[in-house]
């Protein structure tokens, strides 16, 4: 049988070294599915429960492997379902190629079943490249460019292939007028700034006395250079959430996360510095950066479209983080006065004590901070961790100490609920020998996670290492938003929107043949983590946690907490609990011994 367009798609993906495509079936891609049936793996077709999950899996795969993710869906509803996951990729600068079906060319424009104007629909999410293949000769060029652009621009691209085109006999572009042949292979040569720009940056950094660094995911792979620069400048280093795993939290001058979910020492670092060096981060919350007239600032980013944002930087260097820092290093003078460094280190060490105390603060029944604190020291040094949007992102940001080769991520920019579980599924296909943890709220679990447990049950036996732990914070509340409502509106929570129906998470996991453990006693938290990691199969840990433990922002004072909490003692069912827990957590920062240490 001759090669069809669909056969060629798989053939070309194989030539690009693609090993996994995350997708869901439908007649808009029947030609592709039939080709998959004929073909030998790779690429492997990984089936989810919903196309949005396929997109999230592709994003998780790409985030944790550093490779480009691929997802596939049928026309109309399938392509629509992919969108949220694709936006997650686009906003977090993750390379993902979406291949979607379309109705037959003969039906287009006829208000046909499942016909949606996909070029228009994908125009924004795949703004860098979105093309429909209408004749076979167009294919290699369109597919190759979609892969090259997604990979080099770290963005989303889309290839739309009508169902009838998939079944046409493949015919390559010729050596002719209006034919566009294509080829494989691509080399990446990251940009480096010119010497004159590096000298300007170095002069500014050398002139400062109290240097703060902020690093993001763009500094991945540059940890050694960041450490050297920070040492020379006597700087403290804060991390944007997507860059949390770039640098170990065991370094005494790493202040941890920054922002609303960040740490107190990061807040203090920015509040008190006189010089700022941002490397590979587009951290959006300007209010957590120094005052505009307080610090002179340099930014380094690989993408010329992303420099000069968020702060009045004096020097904007366009360059790869590793190469740029390497070239900057010989131009930097070592700061002999180490007083600022010592202050940063004191703040950091105090913060970790506070975290210990906060985790040990009493709650009913389990303090979610205890759950994350107990996990942190138990994590294998090669663990992959995801957190979902919700209060778990707070506790992940503050309590999980990165070390070794640990990796971690969440939906940093779109901040969508729901990727926690599908991200780790993507990770398990990309890095099957690493232990994975998804840290998820019960709302996110009910939104997506429960269904994707079925996907885990379907595939886990194929993974070299079955260790995958899904931890659910069972608080029957959309807690993060409940707290936002309370803080912003000063109103009691609106139960019809915030309260969640109960669900037996651990029991459900067990019914799928996975391990399921329910924990409602704080004394059992540590042992449960150990048991989950030792299990011979993926394990769901259901922690019954207290929704009254507030995710306190790093800059809040005890007085602010007291007045905020008391201001909404108006109608909340758990109002007295909140007052108690909020004040208690804040007190744990200032007064040792406000806890009843339940020994994690």
* 481 belongs to the binding site for ligand TPP (CB under 6 A): yes
Contact 515, 537 (CB under 8 A): yes
Nearer to ligand TPP among residue 138 and residue 498 (C-beta): 498
Nearest distance from C-beta of residue 525 to ligand TPP, angstroms:
16
> Which of 68, 479, 594, 595 is close enough to bind ligand TPP by CB under 6 A?
479
Q: Does 443 bind ligand TPP (CB under 6 A)?
A: yes
Is residue 83 at the binding interface for ligand TPP, with CB under 6 A as the rule?
no
Select 89 or 232, whichever has its Cβ closest to ligand TPP.
89
- Nearest approach, Cβ of residue 83 and ligand TPP (Å): 12
Smallest CA-to-CA distance from 421 within 373, 374, 389, 399 is with 389
Tokens of 74: 């049928």
| Smallest separation (angstroms) from ligand TPP to the CB of 484 | 8
> Candidates 115-123, 142-150, 316-324, 390-398 — which segment interacts with ligand TPP by CB under 6 A?
390-398
Residue 442, interface with ligand TPP (CB under 6 A)?
yes
Q: How far is the CB of 312 from ligand TPP (least distance, A)?
A: 30
**CA 199 to CA 204: how far, in whole Å?**
9
Alpha carbon distances (Å) from 520 to 154, 376, 477, 501, 573? 42, 19, 16, 18, 21
Q: Considering only CA atoms, which of 571, 579, 524, 521 is closest in space to residue 548?
A: 579
By CB under 6 A, is residue 572 in contact with ligand TPP?
no
Residue 480 in contact with ligand TPP, rule: CB under 6 A: yes
For 257, residues 6+ apart whose C-beta sits below 8 A from its C-beta are 238, 239, 240, 241, 244, 263, 266, 397, 398
Report the candidate in 301, 252, 255, 292 with the shortest Cα–Cα distance to residue 274: 292
156 binding ligand TPP? (CB under 6 A): no
Cβ contacts of 351-356, under 8 Å, gap ≥ 24? 351/255, 351/256, 351/263, 351/264, 351/265, 353/592, 354/264, 354/588, 354/589, 355/398, 355/399
Count the helix, strand and coil residues of the chain and give each as a percent rounded to the nearest 5. 45, 15, 40
Cβ(498)–Cβ(442) under 8 Å? Answer: no
Note whether 540 binds ligand TPP by CB under 6 A: no
- Residue 578 binds ligand TPP (CB under 6 A): no
Distance of alpha carbon 524 from alpha carbon 68, whole angstroms: 40
- Which residue, 139 or 478, is less far from ligand TPP as judged by CB? 478
Identify which range of 174-182, 438-446, 567-575, 583-591 contacts ligand TPP by CB under 6 A. 438-446
216 near ligand TPP, judged by CB under 6 A: no
Question: Which of 584, 521, 524 minimizes the C-alpha distance to 549?
Answer: 584
Nearer to ligand TPP, 208 or 547 (CB): 547
Binding ligand TPP (rule: CB under 6 A), the pick from 391, 493, 564, 594 is 391
Q: Total binding residues for ligand TPP by CB under 6 A?
A: 20
Is 475 a residue that touches ligand TPP (CB under 6 A)? yes
Establish if 389 lies at the interface with ligand TPP (CB under 6 A).
yes
- Rounded to 10 deg, the angle between the 525-534 and 368-378 helix axes is 50
Tell me if 415 contacts ligand TPP by CB under 6 A: yes
For ligand TPP, the closer of residues 441 and 466 by Cβ is 441
Verify binding: residue 412, ligand TPP, rule CB under 6 A. no
Note whether 441 binds ligand TPP by CB under 6 A: yes
Binding region for ligand TPP (CB under 6 A) out of 143-151, 256-264, 288-296, 413-421: 413-421
Instruction: Please state at what angle helix 450-459 crosses helix 51-65, rounded to 10 degrees.
Output: 60
Note if the bond before 438 is cis, omega within 30 degrees.
Answer: no
User: Of 83 and 332, which has the nearer Cβ to ligand TPP?
Assistant: 83
- What would the 3-class secondary structure string for 51-72 be? HHHHHHHHHHHHHHHCCCEEEE
Q: Is 416 in the site for ligand TPP (CB under 6 A)?
A: yes
174, two tokens: 């010729």
Residue 510 burial (10 A CB sphere; 0-12, 13-18, 19+): middle
Q: How many CB atoms lie within 10 A of CB 221?
A: 13
Closest CB to ligand TPP among residues 347, 389: 389
Encode 258-287: b = buried (16+ Cβ within 10 Å), e = exposed.
bbbbbbbbbbbbbebbebbbbbbbbbeeee
Segment lying near ligand TPP (by CB under 6 A), choices 73-81, 373-381, 439-447, 570-578: 439-447
Among 444, 450, 485, 548, binds ligand TPP (CB under 6 A): 444
Closer CB to ligand TPP, 162 or 441, in the complex: 441
Please identify, among the stretches 174-182, 471-479, 508-516, 528-536, the one whose residues bind ligand TPP according to the rule CB under 6 A: 471-479
Name the residue nearer to ligand TPP (CB basis): 149 or 472: 472
* Residue 153: closest CA among 133, 129, 130: 129
Of 42-50, 179-187, 387-395, 460-468: span binding ligand TPP (CB under 6 A)? 387-395
Q: Which is nearer to ligand TPP, 234 or 418 (CB)?
A: 418
In the block, residue with structure tokens 């007190």: 587
260 scored as a contact of ligand TPP (CB under 6 A): no
473 binds ligand TPP (CB under 6 A): yes
Q: Give SS3 for 75.
A: coil
Binding site for ligand TPP (CB under 6 A): 388-392, 415-418, 441-444, 473, 475, 477-481
């Amino acid at each position: 049988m001759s090669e069809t367009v669909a056969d060629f798609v798989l053939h070309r993906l194989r030539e690009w070294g693609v090993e996994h495509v995350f997708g869901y079936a439908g007649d808009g891609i029947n030609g592709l599915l039939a080709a998959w049936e004929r073909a030998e793996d790779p690429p492997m077709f990984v089936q989810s429960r919903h196309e949005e999950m396929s997109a999230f899996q592709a994003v998780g795969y790409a985030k944790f492997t550093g490779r480009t993710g691929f997802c596939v869906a049928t026309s109309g509803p399938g392509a629509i379902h992919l969108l949220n996951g694709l936006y997650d990729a686009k906003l977090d600068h993750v390379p993902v190629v979406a291949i979607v079906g379309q109705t037959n060319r003969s039906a287009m424009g006829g208000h046909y079943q499942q016909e949606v104007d996909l070029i228009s629909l994908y125009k924004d999410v795949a703004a860098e490249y979105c093309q429909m293949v209408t004749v076979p000769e167009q294919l290699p060029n369109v597919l190759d460019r979609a892969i090259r652009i997604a990979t080099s621009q770290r963005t989303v691209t889309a290839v739309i292939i009508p169902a009838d085109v998939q079944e046409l006999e493949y015919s390559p572009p010729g050596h002719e007028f209006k034919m566009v042949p294509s080829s494989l292979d691509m080399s990446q040569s990251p940009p480096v700034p010119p010497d004159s720009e590096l000298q300007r940056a170095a002069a500014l950094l050398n002139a400062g006395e109290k240097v703060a660094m902020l690093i993001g995911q763009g500094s991945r792979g540059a940890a050694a250079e960041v450490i050297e620069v920070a040492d020379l400048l006597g700087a403290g280093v804060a991390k944007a959430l997507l860059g949390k795993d770039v640098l170990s939290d065991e370094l005494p001058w790493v202040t941890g996360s920054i922002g609303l979910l960040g740490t107190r020492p990061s807040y203090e670092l920015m509040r008190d510095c006189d010089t700022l060096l941002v490397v590979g981060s587009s951290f959006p919350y300007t209010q957590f950066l120094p005052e505009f007239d307080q610090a002179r600032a340099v930014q380094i980013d690989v993408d010329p479209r992303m420099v000069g944002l968020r702060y009045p930087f004096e020097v904007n260097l366009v360059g790869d983080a590793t190469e740029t820092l390497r070239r900057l290093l010989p131009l930097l003078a070592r700061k002999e006065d180490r007083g600022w460094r010592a202050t940063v280190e004191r703040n950091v060490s105090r913060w970790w004590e506070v975290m210990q105390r906060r985790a040990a603060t009493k709650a009913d029944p389990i303090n979610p901070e205890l759950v994350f604190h107990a996990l942190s020291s138990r994590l294998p040094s090669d663990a992959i961790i995801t957190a979902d949007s919700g209060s778990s992102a707070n506790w992940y940001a503050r309590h999980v100490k990165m070390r070794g080769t640990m990796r971690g991520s969440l939906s940093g920019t779109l901040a969508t609920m729901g990727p926690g579980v599908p991200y780790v599924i993507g990770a398990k296909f990309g890095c099957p020998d690493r232990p994975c943890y998804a840290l998820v709220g019960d709302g996110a679990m009910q939104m997506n996670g429960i269904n994707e447990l079925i996907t885990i049950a379907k595939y886990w036996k194929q993974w070299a290492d079955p260790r995958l732990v899904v931890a659910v914070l069972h608080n029957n509340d959309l807690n993060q938003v409940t707290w936002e409502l309370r803080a912003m509106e000063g109103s009691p929570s609106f139960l019809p929107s915030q309260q969640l129906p109960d669900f037996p998470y651990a029991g459900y996991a067990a019914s799928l043949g996975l391990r399921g453990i329910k924990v409602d006693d704080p004394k059992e938290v540590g042992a449960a983590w150990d048991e989950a990691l030792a299990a011979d199969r993926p394990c769901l840990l259901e922690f019954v946690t207290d929704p009254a433990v507030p995710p306190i922002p790093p800059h809040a004072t005890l007085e602010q907490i007291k007045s905020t909490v008391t201001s909404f003692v108006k109608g909340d069912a758990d109002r007295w609990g909140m007052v108690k827990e909020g004040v208690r957590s804040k007190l744990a920062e200032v007064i040792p011994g406000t806890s009843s240490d339940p020994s994690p």
